[in-house]
Amino acid sequence: MGVLDLASSRAAAATIVVLGLVLSFGVVCNGGKTSSFVRKVEKTVDMPLDSDVFKVPPGYNAPQQVHITQGDQLGKAVIVSWVTVDEPGSSSVLYWSANSKKKKAEGKITTYKFYNYTSGYIHHTTVRNLMFNTKYYYVVGIGHTERQFWFITPPEVGPDASYTFGLIGDLGQSYDSNKTLTHYELNPQKGQAVLFVGDLSYADNYTNHDNVRWDTWGRFVERSVAYQPWIWTAGNHEIDFAPEIGETKPFKPYSHRYHVPYKASGSTSPFWYSIKRASAYIIVLSSYSAYGKYTPQYKWLEEELPKVNRSETPWLIVLMHSPWYNSYNYHYMEGETMRVMYERWFVTYKVDVVFAGHVHAYERSERVSNVAYNIVNGICKPVKDQYAPVYITIGDGGNLEGLATNMTEPQPDYSAYREASFGHATFNIKNRTHAYYSWHRNQDGYAVKADSMWFFNRFYHPVDDSTSAE
């Protein structure tokens, strides 16, 4: 019996889903795999405002929504951010390591209004000149209610520095979001920093984009992001463009709340920038800022790619929100215009992997490119290309919009694995030649890998690392 016959009979059966039934089953098609893993069909709903994860920390003017991100190009600085609500309070961060004396860094406070919402006092303080590979403790809320956290700085930038990134996208604040975050935290692969591919709170789903849901999101993720940096990418749910209520400045809540070290990489905007971390060079792009020729983002990226020194940072990773290769019937071809502008560069500069979100499901591509087309030659099909990146859609964090389940059929050749389940991934860099990647669906145990791949570095070890039989 052909596997495909089985696939079509199962497709009908899959629509009648038995609640709570967990069944793993793979279908091989055109070399790629469409998982027919069946998940429960409970609706994806946001956690109510009085949920445990949204609890306001006790004490007068207690800092809440504490979050950190990398604060410079090399990983020797950290931006510490938090919100106070009773009064501005102190923006000082007190920090120390086991063998250093306590130091203080000063920061700034910002506030904003959004329709009839007024934000709390948003603090951003950059702690600089840290030692690599060192655990630091830090305290915020000095003078009122103090809260203490810690973080570990990355190893010094260099070609063999091993490091594990977590990958989360389109998280939101539903019960499923909470499961995704819990699975990330308890994954024995132990992510050391999160590459977040956009769409944070989904506050814009509420009446007047109720920014209270930005605050609840900040409190929800604090349990991870206060202790390890999350590297931010702007998604469409960060735009908060609402002319019907007079809010016409895009990214207003996001850009007040989430600061990134964009100036350190010569960028003129927080929506595109780069950092080095351990042996990785990470380029963050904005699907929702102009990227055509002559635009600031285009000019920045054109100058940025030649600066990447693969002898120093072998792993070249790009983050964006809207995927270029996506075989779901959601947001279909939304990434196409940016692909047309930039894909040639990604092949020329041998990007190892591109992570995107936006589509609320999981998909991993083969190494493919589609750069031969010139309007008249008709060569417009993606082809296997060992110089091209692997494209991974990891928009399956679990937000209230629910799963994207409708896929284009048949599965295109370029698609190596796709599955409509919530989850997260880890990218575990071992050395300059090898990285182990795995995707973890929420229904499985914490250690289970639903999809995995050994990445061979495109600069140091550019041999075929595809997971499909040719």
Ligand X SMILES: *[C@@H]1O[C@H](CO)[C@@H](O)[C@H](O)[C@H]1NC(C)=O
Binding residues for ligand X (CB under 6 A): 47, 51-53, 116-117, 175, 178, 182, 205, 208, 309, 311-312, 329, 400-401, 406, 430-431, 433-434
- Based on CB atoms, which residue is closest to Fe ion, 149 or 271? 271
Task: For CA atoms 345, 351, 357, 360, give the dihedral sign.
Answer: positive
Q: Is 229 in the site for Fe ion (CB under 5 A)?
A: no
- Whether 331 is a known active-site residue: answer yes
The two beta strands, 78-84 and 64-70, are antiparallel
**CA neighbor of 318 nearest in space, from 270, 359, 352:** 352
Residue type, 358: H
340's contact among ligand X, Fe ion, none, with CB below 5 to 8 A by partner kind, is none
Rounded least distance, CB 328 to ligand X, Å: 9
- Based on CB atoms, which residue is closest to Fe ion, 422 or 455? 422
- Based on CB atoms, which residue is closest to ligand X, 94 or 203? 203
**Burial level of 253, CB count in 10 A (0-12/13-18/19+)?**
buried
Q: Is 432 in the site for Fe ion (CB under 5 A)?
A: no
Q: Is 235 in the site for Fe ion (CB under 5 A)?
A: yes
Q: Is 350 in the site for Fe ion (CB under 5 A)?
A: no
Please, which contacts does 303-309 make with residues 24 or more away whose CB atoms are closer than 8 Å? 303/266, 304/265, 304/266, 304/274, 305/345, 305/348, 305/349, 306/349, 308/281, 308/349
Residues 385-404 close enough to bind Fe ion by CB under 5 A: none
418's contact among Fe ion, ligand X, none, with CB below 5 to 8 A by partner kind, is none
* DSSP state at residue 156: P
* DSSP state at residue 68: E
412's contact among Fe ion, ligand X, none, with CB below 5 to 8 A by partner kind, is none
Q: Is 199 in the site for Fe ion (CB under 5 A)?
A: yes
**CA neighbor of 425 nearest in space, from 317, 287, 272, 329:** 317
311's contact among Fe ion, ligand X, none, with CB below 5 to 8 A by partner kind, is ligand X
Given the residues 124, 209, 237, 331, select the one marked as catalytic.
331
- Based on CB atoms, which residue is closest to ligand X, 295 or 408? 408
**CA neighbor of 203 nearest in space, from 253, 247, 250:** 253
Radius of gyration of the chain (CA): 22
358's contact among ligand X, Fe ion, none, with CB below 5 to 8 A by partner kind, is Fe ion
Residues that bind Fe ion (CB under 5 A): 199, 235-236, 358
Q: What positions carry a catalytic annotation? A: 331
